[in-house]
Structure 1
Amino acid sequence: MAVCGDIWRAGERLRKGVMANLAGTGLDFACFDVVLTLRRQGRGGALSPSALAKEMMLSTSAMTSRLDRLEKLGLITRETDPADRRGLKVALTDAGFAKADEIVVSHVSTEERLLNRLSAKERDQLRSLLRKIGE
């Protein structure tokens, strides 16, 4: 129980730190995650909603609501897939790229601040141990 309690408390501390960093950006963590996933595709890159959901390990219905919010904010576009008229491709707009680039700097800084007590070796060890739980 103590190990699980420590993991829960550490996870909650990390979650609160990331949420505090996102405050005022207009994005919740769910939308932030979509924006960063699309940002990794690069300019001109796009994913279908189902591929995006699969990459993020979400249901397609959860993805649809996130995409609706991001489209209303002008951060993404949904366009017909040129290879399949029935399909869609999701891509970041210029505003979406700017938002991703703006937030990722403070996000990485926040994560570093939250993990700064761990050495590089300890971080590697922690990742290895957590992967064993997640398998």
Structure 2
Amino acid sequence: MNDVTKADARRHRRSANAVKASLRDLNTQLALLNRQFGAQVELKDADWNCLDLVDRHGPLTASALARLAGLHPATMTGVLDRLQRGGWITRERDPAATDRRAVTIRATRERNAELYRVLAGMNNRMDELCDRYTDAELELIADFLRRTAVAGHDSATELGGA
């Protein structure tokens, strides 16, 4: 390997390490935001994650939600109980299902206004940040974040042994 190629490789490695360090910083800040947000709307982290998944992908069965959230079914029962008590979700029995225990989880859309109000500061900051980028740059960033999410999912699956 010649000196130019070695220098390029070092530069690339430094840049990649800077991206990974930034992702760790982002993870920390989003965890702090989620804790503060959760305190405002009285949702635990796992509860908020599940509510967000139901809101984005629902309606879902409890087992499908548990798989998406990476939670044990027994843990999911407690999460769903808290979300239902808080008025965040409804559980509906499917009369056509062969298993009478089968339920579908739906987000209570009427509560979304409360979520939007609490997250308005972050949403406004993200809008301002996105305004600084071209459509092409935003597509690149979105692609990178989607691929990062897949890498995180695959790594969590690997660590979980599933």
Q: Bin the TM-score by the shorter chain.
A: 0.5 to 0.7
What is the CA–CA distance in structure 1 between the aligned matches of 2:22 and 2:55, rounded to whole Å? 33
SS at structure 2 position matched to 1:98: helix
2:88 maps to which of 75, 97, 100: 75
Kindly state the Cα deviation for residue 82 of structure 1 after the two structures are TM-superposed. Answer: 0.9
- Give every structure 1 segment of 4 or more consecutive aligned residues whose post-TM-superposition deviation is greater than 4 Å: none
Identity among equivalent pairs (%): 27
1:3 alignment counterpart: 19
Q: Which runs of 5+ in 1 are unaligned?
A: none
1:28 alignment counterpart: 44
> What is the aligned length?
129
Do residues 127 (structure 1) and 139 (structure 2) align?
no
Q: Which runs of 5+ in 2 are unaligned?
A: 1-16, 155-162
Change (3 A) 1:126 1:61: farther
TM-score by length of 2: 0.59
Q: Which has the higher Rg, Structure 1 or Structure 2?
A: 2
Change (3 A) 1:50 1:116: same
2:110 alignment counterpart: 98
Kindly state the Cα deviation for residue 108 of structure 1 after the two structures are TM-superposed. Answer: 5.6
TM-score by length of 1: 0.67
